[in-house]
């Protein structure tokens, strides 16, 4: 079963009052009304053997990634994080050393964004290390950016470069784009946004599905990370990895063509931003290949099997 199919099933099982749960399952975070305020919340886990390898990377890197993945989902809504809780299932061994190193990793990623660990749970079992983190955030003056607001004609923009994150330690050491998301959403009307965790093609597919639109992606301008450049590909070295690998934790967003022009000219944030395509009417995604031909683009980035 695919994760997206399970989310669809969850949505079919629950009916929310939109005044109480303005955004339910299926976006990067949920939004819950809290009196006059809105709470933005997300949870994500990292597992030994899936998201890191404890023997190679160590417990501190695992903790850091556990926090940073959640902060990346908060960034995808342009929200401001303010606290986290963590539940850790330790594998038997040097328990105190392991737990302290995980905590240091969580703190390392959280402190940079004023997101302290305010509680949690630790258990021990005869299996591999599993770390689950929940991050709480608030709008703090910026309307949450959803996946569902993309409009035909929008420019599709991407921060940084993508591909090959698992071939190096980049999938462990990335900086979530919390600050960049807040600056961009404060200065421009971002229509839709997601963080690239499943892969550029898959995450663009998530925006298209949620927004009821299609997309055209320009294969000759997709910024390919040096980690992926040496990978072969039928069109352009590294392009397949850039489209499909995932775990890049960059921001993929759409804005009107006019706003994109000024945003790209002004360099609103330090990280490079590339205009990689356009939102189209209808459904389905097309890849304009570097040789000028076009073909359907399947949303075949990494998707967790559940």
Residues lying near Mg ion in the complex (CB under 5 A) are found at: 28, 73, 195, 197
Beta carbon nearer to Mg ion, 70 or 98: 70
- Contact by Cβ (8 Å): 198, 192: no
Min CB(266)–Mg ion separation in Å? 26
CB of 197 to Mg ion, least distance (A): 5
Question: Which residue in the shown chain puts its C-beta closest to Mg ion?
Answer: 28
Nearer to Mg ion, 150 or 288 (CB): 150
Nearer to Mg ion, 202 or 297 (CB): 202
Query: Would you list the DSSP string of 156-213?
Result: EEEES-BS-GGGSSHHHHPPP-HHHHHHHHHHS---EEEE-SS-HHHHHHHHHHHHT-
Residues with Cβ within 8 Å of 93's Cβ and at least 6 positions away in sequence, in order, are none
Largest CA distance in the chain: 57
Min. distance of Cβ 1 from Mg ion in angstroms? 19
Q: What is the nearest approach in angstroms of Mg ion to the Cβ of residue 179?
A: 17
Nearest to 243 by CA among 168, 183, 171, 298: 298
**C-beta of 23 vs 101, nearer to Mg ion:** 23
CB of 12 to Mg ion, least distance (A): 21
Residue 206 CB, shortest distance to Mg ion, in Å, is: 8
Rounded distance, CA 201 to CA 140, Å?
Answer: 31
| Contact by Cβ (8 Å): 150, 207 | yes
Q: How far apart are CA 71 and CA 241, in angstroms?
A: 24
Compare residues 73 and 250 and give the one whose CB is closer to Mg ion.
73
Beta carbon nearer to Mg ion, 70 or 274: 70
Name which of 8 and 235 has its Cβ closer to Mg ion. Answer: 8
Question: Cβ 30 to Mg ion, closest distance in Å?
Answer: 12
Nearest alpha-carbon partner for 93 in 51, 49, 58, 132? 58
Both tokens assigned to 45: 């886990």
Strand partners, 274: 158
Q: Which strands, in side-by-side order, build the sheet including 192-195? A: 192-195, 251-255, 155-159, 273-280, 214-218, 285-288, 294-296
Q: Which is nearer to Mg ion, 75 or 288 (CB)?
A: 75
Query: Minimum distance between the CB of residue 73 and Mg ion, rounded to whole angstroms?
Result: 4
């Amino acid at each position: 079963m695919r994760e997206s199919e399970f989310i669809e099933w969850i949505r079919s099982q629950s009916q929310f009052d939109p005044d109480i749960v303005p955004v339910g399952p299926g976006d990067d975070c949920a939004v819950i009304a809290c009196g006059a305020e809105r709470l933005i919340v997300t949870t994500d886990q990292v597992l030994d053997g899936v998201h890191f390898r404890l023997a190679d990377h160590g417990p501190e890197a695992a903790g850091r990634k556990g926090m940073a993945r959640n902060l990346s989902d908060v960034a995808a809504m342009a929200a401001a994080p303010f606290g986290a809780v963590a539940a850790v299932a330790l594998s038997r061994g040097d328990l105190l050393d392991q737990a302290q190193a995980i905590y240091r990793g969580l703190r390392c990623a959280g402190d940079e964004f004023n997101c302290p660990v305010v509680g949690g749970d630790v258990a021990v079992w005869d299996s591999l290390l599993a770390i689950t983190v929940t991050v709480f955030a608030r709008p703090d003056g910026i309307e949450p950016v959803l996946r569902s607001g993309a409009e035909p004609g929008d420019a599709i923009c991407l921060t940084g470069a993508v591909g090959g994150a698992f071939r190096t330690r980049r999938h462990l050491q990335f900086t979530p784009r919390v600050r960049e998301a807040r600056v961009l959403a404060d200065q421009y009307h971002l229509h839709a946004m997601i963080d690239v965790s499943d892969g550029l093609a898959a995450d663009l597919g998530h925006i298209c599905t949620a927004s009821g639109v299609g997309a055209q992606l320009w294969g000759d301008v997709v910024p390919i990370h040096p980690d992926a450049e040496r990978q072969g590909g039928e069109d352009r070295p590294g392009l397949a990895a850039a489209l499909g690998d995932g775990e890049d934790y960059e921001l993929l967003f759409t804005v009107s063509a006019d706003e994109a022009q000024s945003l790209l000219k002004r360099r609103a944030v330090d990280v490079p931003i590339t205009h990689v395509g356009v939102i189209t009417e209808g459904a389905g995604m097309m890849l304009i290949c570097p040789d000028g031909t076009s073909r359907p683009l399947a949303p075949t980035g990494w998707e967790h099997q559940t």
